[in-house]
Structure 1
Amino acid sequence: MLRFILRRIGISFLVLLGASFLMYILTINSGDPLEDLRESNAENREQLMERREDFMGLNDPWYLRYWNWLTGVSKCVVLQCDLGVTRNGVDVGSLLGQAAGSTLRLVTIATLAAIVIGIAFGMLTAIRQYSGFDYTVTFGAFLFYSLPVFWAAVLLKEFGAIRFNDWIAVGTISPVVVVLVAALLGFVAQAILGGDSRRRLITAGGTFAFVAAALFYFNAVDFYRNPAMGPALVAVVGVGAAVLVVSLVTGLANRRVLYAALTTVAVGVISYFALGSVLAEPTWPILIGLFVLAIILASVIGALWGGYSRRQAIFASNVTAVLMSGIIVADIALAHWASFLGLKSRPISTIGSETPNFTGGFWESFLDKGAQLLLPTIILTLISVASYSRYTRSSMLEVMNQDYVRTARSKGLSERAVITKHAFRNALIPITTIVAFDFAGLIGGAVITETVFGWKGMGELFRSGLLHVDPNPVMAFFLVTGIAAVLMNMLADIAYAYLDPRIRR
């Protein structure tokens, strides 16, 4: 395995070297870096042109310019990267640090969300092939996959930011909209769950009544401007998450795994009360440290309860701890929503990744950055979910018709065990390729999304460098995106080898 990984690293390095050479040559030949000065009427135009030629090394041969860039990048091995400067004299390394943090934060969240949602929907549609749920998800997948990014981003900007900000000032839903939303969700629910006409009617009617009652209740308590979950609801949602995780991992019949997950929830609720003063105004190192501590405690709980199912108990406890941590963070953030609205009456801005000179505390700043991250993340996630769900569905259907899956069923294994332990792992093999290519594709697609939403990320760095025929910013963009693409493909190869040991040979 180690030899396999080292071989993939060597190949990846050669791919990056060849791609960087091609990118540099294409960039410096894409236009005239002196075009704006040639059209200038300034008296010292010739001096300005000569200064830029010397500053950018335009009189040097192309291979020397590329070698100088490559020499600076090679210093990254000793953590002393020299990515050069822009034609205006700004250090590219500082620009790259800000831009990469903004874009990778957006793309990473969108990729993780798309993987979880897309694979889950793909599995369910494969299990319930040709059902109402399958047709509904298929229609949605093709719809989202066909949407142009720029058009969908502009629509979401209009309805998800501008009109939402107008609505949140009042914070109530009219009775007509309540009825329409409840009816729409009732129709979707009966299409997903399927069944005969009587069952569909009961599903639609029950969903309509529940949604309508919930929306009217939210109006009455001003939930949209003053939301709150509270410890009791946190505990209920945590228990539900634990039960769901155990049912997928081992089934509820395995009491040891179930008790481990429920104990993790109980420890999480107790910790929520005990650390209330710390969580009221934390810092990122504190939150990260508490998250690591939660994983450690979950592993200990799983090991103590697990017995003969220790491995499954540890896994279920860890997943439950992650979900419980997210629920607690969401509850605290919701509790600060009213104070956030007091500082920023129009919570979702249409431009930028955060509000300049924002004066709120930790959780208000968390909500501000989260609100700005929401809309571009939704756009990138919807586009990727479509491909993940379709590929997962086709891969699962192919695997579930294999002889070893039929053999597992004939041996009397439960359907959950057949799907999760036998079919799903082998169905993941082609999905790993999609994940690798999709991550790099999302970074490229983020260029358009960032332009629409005014994010100062990698897209802005690439666009300005290419527009001014300035190779250093463009190559900085390539350095991050190229390494990310090659790294994801290398991880996909390693995942291949783990999922199917025959690939190592």
Structure 2
Amino acid sequence: MVTYVVRRLITAALILLGASYLVYNLTALSGDPLADLRTNPNSAQLMQARSQLLDLDTPAPIRYFKWLGGAASCLAGNCDLGKNIAGQPVTQALGQALVQTLTLVTGAAILAILVGVALGIITALRQYSALDYGVTFLAFLFFSLPIFWVAVLLKEYGAIGFNNFLAHPDIPLTVALGIGLVFGIIAGVVTGGGLRRKAIVGAIAFAFVTLVLVVASLTQWFRYPGLGLGVILVAGVGIAFAITVLAAGLQNRRALYAGLTTVVIGAAVYFPIQSLLDLATPLMVLILAVVTVAVGIAVGYFWGGYDRGQGMRVGGITAFIVGGLIMLDRFAQAWPAYFGNGLVRGRPIATIGGATPNFQGDFWTTGIDSFTHLVLPTVALVLISLASYTRYTRSSMLEVMNMDYIRTARAKGASERSVVMRHAFRNALIPISTVVALDIGQLIGGAVITETVFSVHGMGFMFLDGISRVDPNPVMGVFVCVAITALAFNLIADLVYSALDPRVRVK
């Protein structure tokens, strides 16, 4: 294994060296970096200053080796990737752009993977059903749409339209009935079983959604949102049952009791923790998250049972989600203060940038500000990325579900949950891990079009700006980050194969 990893690292270094040479010279020779200065009255002085800054008197191939020497110094902790055309060190600009890109794409990547894999499993288990056809149609629809068009539609209806609605958040009864009808139809299609069961589930969903919208309109919930202890408690009980079904099965009663116990603990600390959350900082929230998961795992351990590990998993996951609901409720409590801020001006969903200029506030209002700026580009990236994960997971699950060992597991009397989650899903993850590894490497490079439409100055924006201005140093900075990430995750994907499938061994 060690020999294999070393050999792969040496190969990756040689590939990176050759690719970086080509990219640097192609960028440097693609145009004239002094073109914008030639019509300036002080062009001679400005051109001389820029030539000295970018060392334009040296041929591009020689400049590459100078750049390579500075890049190699990163191994000694003294990184020097040169300066961009504005005189800013590339390492500084790269750090700022990397933060923007990671903030933008991390949430989108996680959501796309979770939602896409879940939909892939469900559609595979419901092959050729209305749900399967519907998810397939929508996945390919969004996959085929141009990302800039999706982004523009989101800005028009998700930002401008929703902000206009927030000025007078009243939902007419006819609109509430229409939305409820749509959700009722979707619920009926998603539900398995006969026509009678579909009709009952659809009717319940229609009544529930309509009632929620009417109550939200009467109470002005969109202006003064919140979950409250009652909603958290009811949702927590449902989550405990759902996690138990997926992780252990309802026959493991002690695992279910562990999940329900964590919900009760969360409800018990809801009011006492509010005063502590008023002083929240990122470090405090991280510590509280770790403590919350640890308490859930401890609850599962003490409940014990024939499989204590299942109870610990159910307790830990349920505690984490219930803690997330409490955090979401606290963000909702801060919404009126953010909505009424003079810089926000009653239009909270932003269309450009990564933050409101000059906005200052506590942990909760600044968190809302970051969320409102990220929600639209994140949704755009998720919609476009969803198709690949959904289809790969579906095809992989269908292939695995027809294997002999799946039929053997069912013949031995294993539950359907055990067959799907323990036997099928693990083996179906092998091709999916390759897609995830490649996508993460691409995402680090930044979503160039999305960042441009939403004016997010991330890695993609930096790369595009460097190419348009014939400035190779920032282009190379982005290239090195993306190339190293892609090569590293390709290696990780190969190593994950051996962990997911004992038949695969890296030699």
| Shorter-chain TM-score above 0.5 | yes
Once residues 94 and 490 of structure 2 are traced to their aligned partners in structure 1, the CA distance between those partners, rounded to angstroms, is 23
2:35 corresponds to: 35
1:388 CA drift (Å): 0.6
Counterpart mapping for 1:76-155 below 5 A: 76-155=74-153
The Cα offsets for residues 19-42 of structure 1, whole Å up to 9 and x where unpaired, read as 22222122112111122233x152
1:412 corresponds to: 413
The Cα offsets for residues 372-422 of structure 1, whole Å up to 9 and x where unpaired, read as 110000010111111111110010000000111111111111111111110
Once residues 19 and 310 of structure 2 are traced to their aligned partners in structure 1, the CA distance between those partners, rounded to angstroms, is 43
What amino acid is aligned across from residue 434 of structure 2 in structure 1?
A: T
Select between 120-129 and 241-250 the one with higher mean Cα deviation. Answer: 241-250
Question: Which structure 2 residue ranges, 5 or more long, are not aligned?
Answer: none
Once residues 72 and 266 of structure 2 are traced to their aligned partners in structure 1, the CA distance between those partners, rounded to angstroms, is 46
Helix, strand or coil: the match of 1:493?
helix
1:2 CA drift (Å): 4.5
CA contact (8 A) 2:224 2:335 kept: yes
Counterpart mapping for 1:54-453 below 5 A: 54-343=52-341, 344=344, 345-443=346-444, 446-453=447-454
CA-based RMSD of the aligned residues comes to 1.9
The Cα offsets for residues 434-489 of structure 1, whole Å up to 9 and x where unpaired, read as 11122233445611001111111112211211111111111121122222222222
TM-score by length of structure 1 reads: 0.95
Once residues 264 and 194 of structure 1 are traced to their aligned partners in structure 2, the CA distance between those partners, rounded to angstroms, is 31
Alignment CA distance shift 1:204-1:245 (3 Å): closer
CA contact (8 A) 1:226 1:338 kept: yes
Counterpart mapping for 1:475-490 below 5 A: 475-490=476-491
Once residues 329 and 14 of structure 1 are traced to their aligned partners in structure 2, the CA distance between those partners, rounded to angstroms, is 47
Select between 366-375 and 481-490 the one with higher mean Cα deviation. Answer: 481-490
What amino acid is aligned across from residue 303 of structure 1 in structure 2?
A: Y
What amino acid is aligned across from residue 188 of structure 1 in structure 2?
A: I
Once residues 196 and 148 of structure 2 are traced to their aligned partners in structure 1, the CA distance between those partners, rounded to angstroms, is 43
What amino acid is aligned across from residue 124 of structure 1 in structure 2?
A: I
1:23 corresponds to: 23
1:302 CA drift (Å): 3.0
Which one has the bigger helix percentage? 1
Helix, strand or coil: the match of 1:504?
coil
What amino acid is aligned across from residue 58 of structure 1 in structure 2?
A: L
1:4 CA drift (Å): 4.2
Helix, strand or coil: the match of 1:58?
coil
Helix, strand or coil: the match of 2:271?
helix
1:170 CA drift (Å): 0.8
Alignment CA distance shift 1:41-1:75 (3 Å): closer
CA contact (8 A) 1:465 1:471 kept: yes
1:64 CA drift (Å): 2.7
Alignment CA distance shift 1:408-1:103 (3 Å): same
Counterpart mapping for 1:460-475 below 5 A: 460-475=461-476
Select between 55-64 and 85-94 the one with higher mean Cα deviation. Answer: 55-64
Once residues 268 and 192 of structure 2 are traced to their aligned partners in structure 1, the CA distance between those partners, rounded to angstroms, is 40
1:196 CA drift (Å): 4.1
Alignment CA distance shift 1:249-1:2 (3 Å): farther
CA contact (8 A) 1:136 1:192 kept: no
Alignment CA distance shift 1:48-1:246 (3 Å): same
The Cα offsets for residues 281-323 of structure 1, whole Å up to 9 and x where unpaired, read as 3111111111122233333333333354233233222222321
The Cα offsets for residues 142-198 of structure 1, whole Å up to 9 and x where unpaired, read as 111111100000000110111111110111212232122112212222222254444
- How much identity, in percent, do the aligned residues show? 48
Instruction: Give aligned pairs, total.
Output: 503
